[in-house]
Structure 1
């Protein structure tokens, strides 16, 4: 850099993969237009679906649970930045679990523990449980060497969920499409190792609160699913810096 020139900051891009854990949640199913049900799964359990067996193939990079981030560090005295992240998580309500079901099921009131099979209901956000977030980024430099720099990274942000749901209810199956499902807010903390200024490795732990308000269910897309849950996400990523 010429004498007197000012470092304007740096762009960065990262790509990585994640594992996810979810809180139990109450899931409400409603359709009183083309069917007759309004019931809730109480305290349902869900799991992730990492699908990592073929992630090393270029054609399969987006099949596992992945994270893509584009950001900018301002190089200001506060070491702040802003980024846009796409977190592709997967959320599967476990089949064949015993769930307390409460509400109206085709004219019959139910309020009891029930074995929930895929013939009754199957629900998964696996293409996926997608968080599109705008984050404020804070960097704390921990150690600076000639070719390596270790930093702590904190983030907070939120945005819409552009998700893709696969579902079956009373034998009526539906897949997708991608659309707006609700909103998410989250925060994360991690470590970033910069290598020769242009490359980095990063690991983060993220906590988020997701509110599904607009999920369709059933082949006619008239039924609706609503639920809220919290998620924990462990992310490992690599990336590139572009100093400006």
Structure 2
């Protein structure tokens, strides 16, 4: 009986509080804050440019070489001939991003990105080669043919990164919004290497090869609420420290380089909750 007497005033207080809340704020505003922000998904393709790099090759267990390529040139490979076919979507250099905007006043977000680039050391170029190869010293400019050394990360030179994203709105109409997008991120290199060194060939598998860090900036055009187009220009530093060579994986190649990547993307927004409304003055 005592519990019943305590329960009635408590229920009365709850009803009064609920009624006051409904009078002070419109129902739409109440629903809004429970699930703020929005998820997004992007897909697109890229072109890439690389700086020259110094590549060190070493195997002192199953072979006998320890030499360096100085200022090796490399290039990308777009492979866009049949990108529109469902079975060929991942053949070209592609980009896949999944992210979340917190939708607060700072317009910040977080993103998981997979950038599939292709890196190929250009065959038949003249490079300075220093070191020793099977007991013979070398220190001269050399024509490097595929029979001597061939190295490519084409399946690929993959950047797996977590990015902090900043959005700055530039212009807005009823159904279109233009924003500037900036990102900074880092993560592992998960690459698949194809190589030939002194006649010993090797392909794959996918493995951890090193680390990458990147910054980027671009433009995002939101069309209505759910669809957008985006372009990004990304500068990255890639450090390959664990590239295994040869069929026995006893050889090792190490190098680092900078890349410039241009991305063209489309994507979808998945807002959480209802559309944001401006706050209304309390009803007195």
- What are the Cα deviations for residues 199-223 of structure 1, in whole angstroms up to 9, with x where unaligned? 0000000000000000011111100
Tell me the residue number matched to 2:188: 160
Q: Paired residue for 2:199?
A: 171
Aligned to 1:97: 125
The partner residue of 2:159 within 109, 117, 131 is 131
Find the aligned partners of 1:188 and 1:62 in 2 and give their Cα distance.
22
1:59 aligned onto 2:92 = no
User: 1:6 matched to which residue of 2?
Assistant: 32
Corresponding residue for residue 57 of structure 2: 29
Q: How does 1:146-225 map to 2 (within 5 A)?
A: 146-225=174-253
Q: Deviations over 1:25-70 (max 9, x none)?
A: 0000000000000000000000000000000100000000000000
The residue that corresponds to 1:77 in the other structure is 105
Q: CA deviation at 1:5?
A: 2.5
More strand by share: 1
Cα distance in 2 for partners of 1:152, 1:135 equals: 16
Deviations 1:119-165 (A, max 9, x none): 00000000000000000000000011111000000000000000000
1:46 corresponds, among 63, 66, 74, to: 74
Dislocated runs of 4+, deviation >4 Å: none
TM (norm. structure 2) is 0.85
Cα displacement string for residues 82-114 of structure 1 (whole angstroms, at most 9, x for unaligned residues): 000000000000000001000011101100000
Aligned counterparts of 1:59 and 1:76: Cα–Cα separation in 2:
39
Structure 2: gaps of 5 or more residues? 1-26, 273-284
Which one has the largest radius of gyration? Answer: 2
1:2 partner SS: helix
The answer to whether structure 1 residue 238 and structure 2 residue 238 are counterparts is no
Equivalent residues, number:
244
- Name whichever structure is richer in helix by fraction: 2
Q: 2:123 & 2:163 partners in 1: Cα distance?
A: 34
TM-score normalized by the length of structure 1: 0.99
Q: Give unmatched runs, 5+ long, in structure 1.
A: none
| 1:17 to partner: Cα distance | 0.1
Give the alignment's Cα RMSD to 1 decimal: 0.8
Q: Separation in 2 of the partners of 1:153 and 1:59?
A: 31
